Structure 1
Amino acid sequence: MTAVQKVAIAGSGVAGLAAAIQLAKAGVEVDLYEAKPELSALGSGISLQGNAFRVFDALGAWEDIRDAGFAFEGLNLRAPGPDAPIVAQLPDAKSGGPDYPASMGIPRAALAQILLEHAERAGARVHFGKKITGVDARANDAVEVYVDDESAGEYDLLIGADGLNSAVRDLIGIETKPEPTGMGIWRTFVSRPAEVERTELYYGGPVYIAGYTPTGEDTMYAFLVEKAEDRFGTSDEEATRIMLEESRAYGGPWNSIRADLEGGARANYTWFTQHLVDTPWNRGRVALIGDAAHSCPPTIAQGAAQGLEDAFVLTELLTKRNAVDETLWDEFHARRVPRVKTVVEASVQLGQWQIEGNRDADTGGLFAAVARRMAEPV
């Protein structure tokens, strides 16, 4: 007997789809509502680490995801300049344990499609172009969910996994919202030169960080992290021009990236944000997970992994307990909030050191401390 028999989920990101897969596999009736008209995966690629792979394995999706991405070990640091010499080769901690690679890059669209297929195969009903616009939790054991201003019926639980600008978060009166950290990032999806076999980062030059991560045999995504600017509404042509100009201080594989940009590869821009909703993340029978509950700069590449872990822990409790009660919520928060707080604070700190130009910061020590924590069972 599971603690829930019918659950609504808002959002088709990795956290929402992971929750849908696990609940549907356990025989729970699941309706996932996505406001966008189709599956959307903003950006170009995503970096993932071993603790995310553990969750994918539990979902039954690891082999498909592994085959669609590019697994690698280690991290290269290069110097700016025309020759872009490699100045350090750093090992990666295997936060998922010895059975998984240390890191992997994968196109966001491919990851989203794989998770969607697994959710539907498990029996979840996915509704695109349907926005949750209201909740009524009058009863202690149910919540009425409104979709496009009409009742979609009563559910045992509503999971708000609808991202940074969560509508569900607003509907239940949580005022915590993402705040800019002072950094912005340009991303583009390009071809992978054969010499790029792992993530490579360049520190110094006109931007805080320049880098790229392989996502497949022939693909990778490249990025430039700069001081946050009002780049929103920039035309495609202007976005390409800015990324080309800001990258000219970096040689090596950046020459290939610039050739792809000149050939039509598109650039997109977002700001880094941070937030962490205070405990509790639920209001009665409505709960937040993933970016709805927390966000951080991708300086440690743990944002998606934390959303996946949220979904894994919550669904584990819901499918192994007999009731949705305070004991369940207390365990959920005890297992998630301290771990997420570690990631958010460390990610923000790494970015702040870059903004301040702090050359004495113990960046390696902070990376190692977080990796050790992520290697612990969730």
Structure 2
Amino acid sequence: MSTARTVLVIGGGAAGNAVTVLLRRSGLTVDLIEAKDDWNATAGSGITLQGNALRVLRELGVWEQVDASGFGFGSVGITAPDGTVLHVAEDLRTGGDDLPATVGMQRPHLQRILIDAVRASGASVRLGTRVERLEQDDTGVSVRFTDGTEGRYDLVVAADGMGSATRAAIGITAKPEPTGMAIWRVAVPRPDGVTRTDLAYGGPAYIAGYCPTSDTTIYAYVVEANRDRASIPAESYADEMRGLTAAYGGFWPEITEHITDPAKVNYSWFDRMLVEGSWHRGRVVLVGDAAHCCPPTLAQGAALSLEDAWVLAQLLTGAEVWDDPLLQSYYERRIARVRPVVEASVQIGQWQLDGVRDADVPGLMGRTMTMLRELP
């Protein structure tokens, strides 16, 4: 395969950063553009990374930094709203027995680790830049950027998220759809004794949970039915979240004391989307949230995106010819793994919305996570 091939990656989130590092490792020329000037370096509260995500991060060469920055654990607790622990289950090590089952970490820390890896790879990076126009033929893609420059590429990888403008530009009409749930998130100091994720079902929210993200921090969240976002003033976010969390016991009173700054509270709806048929048009291919998204009920959003990047990079760097059958094989390999995760994630939430009390949530979660132990 000629190493003179050039790739444009649109979007500097987990999937875009990962595919950039992997393609650069094989000697390809990669340009990465990111619409935000700050490269999302401060966005988000926390993230739960299960073993299959850690497996890809190890392939990227950043596992040691992730391990040092995050908080590893191997179980999940189920509690009553008053904090009484009802059950503790061991998490499945989906990345293999030589990696933790789960690592929680502050999302900005993960992003900075990936940013450093992209910089070290030698990729060309431009921030505050979008695609203005894409024109492709049988040999490549001509791109005009919002800064007035132009480029010619053998392949364009669209990693520009759920609202992907690239997906729409190449004629794929799929769009994220709300599932009916929404989540409040905040990063706060870690109470002594919090060493795993605990989930409370019931009370004023469908779920109230927290995840340790370092020796000193956690991120806490509550899930409720979605509301009109326009009806919730941003300055009331802390009050809104605190009103929900105040009803929970255990570690929650200490957590609630720290929910004071509305600027640190995030509110977002749960969405679902799965692009069917193929994830490419010509020489433009989708990865990560641009191709699929689902509620975080299985904590697999980042993991699936990282896996997309890994699989696509494997196929591209191992092929002499980049053609339609190659890119279709990427879709076929991923869809069989992504679809069950999206469907299970949505189903778990729907059971709660419908008030189904005898739903086999543990069984569905167990079957899905067992599948994810296999290499993608």
Normalised TM-score (structure 1): 0.96
1:4 touches 1:318 (CA, 8 Å); kept in 2? no
Matched, 1:311 2:309: yes
Match of 1:111 in 2: 110
1:4 touches 1:157 (CA, 8 Å); kept in 2? no
Secondary structure at 2:350's aligned position in 1?
A: helix
Match of 1:125 in 2: 124
Of 241, 256, 259 in structure 1, the residue corresponding to residue 254 of structure 2 is 256
Match of 1:43 in 2: 44
Match of 1:143 in 2: 141
Residues 28-72 of structure 1: per-residue CA shift (max 9 Å, x gap)? 111111111112153200001101111111111111111111110
Secondary structure at 1:47's aligned position in 2?
A: strand
Secondary structure at 1:52's aligned position in 2?
A: helix
Secondary structure at 2:91's aligned position in 1?
A: coil
Secondary structure at 1:262's aligned position in 2?
A: coil
CA distance in 2, matches of 1:225, 1:163: 22
1:256-295 equivalences in 2 (<5 Å):
256-262=254-260, 266-295=264-293
What is the CA distance between 1:263 and its match in structure 2? 6.7
1:1-378 equivalences in 2 (<5 Å):
1-2=1-2, 5-40=5-40, 42-81=43-82, 84-137=83-136, 139-148=137-146, 150-232=148-230, 234-262=232-260, 266-378=264-376
CA distance in 2, matches of 1:216, 1:38: 23
1:4 touches 1:324 (CA, 8 Å); kept in 2? no
Secondary structure at 2:329's aligned position in 1?
A: helix
CA distance in 1, matches of 2:302, 2:131: 23
What is the CA distance between 1:289 and its match in structure 2? 0.6
What is the CA distance between 1:152 and its match in structure 2? 2.1
CA distance in 2, matches of 1:12, 1:2: 25
Distance 1:358 1:2, change over 3 A: farther
Residues 284-322 of structure 1: per-residue CA shift (max 9 Å, x gap)? 000011000000000000011000000000011111111
Instruction: Return 5+ residue gaps in structure 2 as ranges.
Output: none
Which amino acid counterpart does residue 164 of structure 2 have in structure 1? S
2:186 touches 2:266 (CA, 8 Å); kept in 1? yes
Which amino acid counterpart does residue 99 of structure 1 have in structure 2? D
More moved, 149-158 vs 119-128: 149-158
Percent identity reads 45
Which amino acid counterpart does residue 374 of structure 2 have in structure 1? E
Distance 1:232 1:3, change over 3 A: farther
What is the CA distance between 1:143 and its match in structure 2? 0.3
Distance 1:103 1:2, change over 3 A: farther
Secondary structure at 1:144's aligned position in 2?
A: strand
1:2 touches 1:318 (CA, 8 Å); kept in 2? no
Which amino acid counterpart does residue 126 of structure 1 have in structure 2? V
Secondary structure at 1:150's aligned position in 2?
A: coil
1:134 touches 1:149 (CA, 8 Å); kept in 2? no
CA distance in 2, matches of 1:321, 1:315: 10
Distance 1:294 1:17, change over 3 A: same
2:238 touches 2:261 (CA, 8 Å); kept in 1? no
Secondary structure at 2:259's aligned position in 1?
A: helix
More moved, 322-331 vs 178-187: 322-331
Secondary structure at 2:183's aligned position in 1?
A: strand
Secondary structure at 2:93's aligned position in 1?
A: coil
1:236 touches 1:266 (CA, 8 Å); kept in 2? no
More moved, 280-289 vs 150-159: 150-159
CA distance in 1, matches of 2:38, 2:199: 33
Distance 1:250 1:2, change over 3 A: farther
Distance 1:59 1:2, change over 3 A: farther
More moved, 267-276 vs 256-265: 256-265
What is the CA distance between 1:231 and its match in structure 2? 2.7
Distance 1:350 1:2, change over 3 A: farther
CA RMSD of aligned residues (A): 1.4
1:46 touches 1:106 (CA, 8 Å); kept in 2? yes
CA distance in 2, matches of 1:156, 1:92: 42
CA distance in 2, matches of 1:376, 1:233: 44
Which amino acid counterpart does residue 38 of structure 2 have in structure 1? E
CA distance in 2, matches of 1:229, 1:133: 34
Instruction: Return 5+ residue gaps in structure 1 as ranges.
Output: none
What is the CA distance between 1:149 and its match in structure 2? 6.8
Secondary structure at 2:298's aligned position in 1?
A: coil
What is the CA distance between 1:147 and its match in structure 2? 1.1
Normalised TM-score (structure 2): 0.97
Secondary structure at 1:130's aligned position in 2?
A: coil
What is the CA distance between 1:232 and its match in structure 2? 4.3
Q: How many residues align?
A: 375
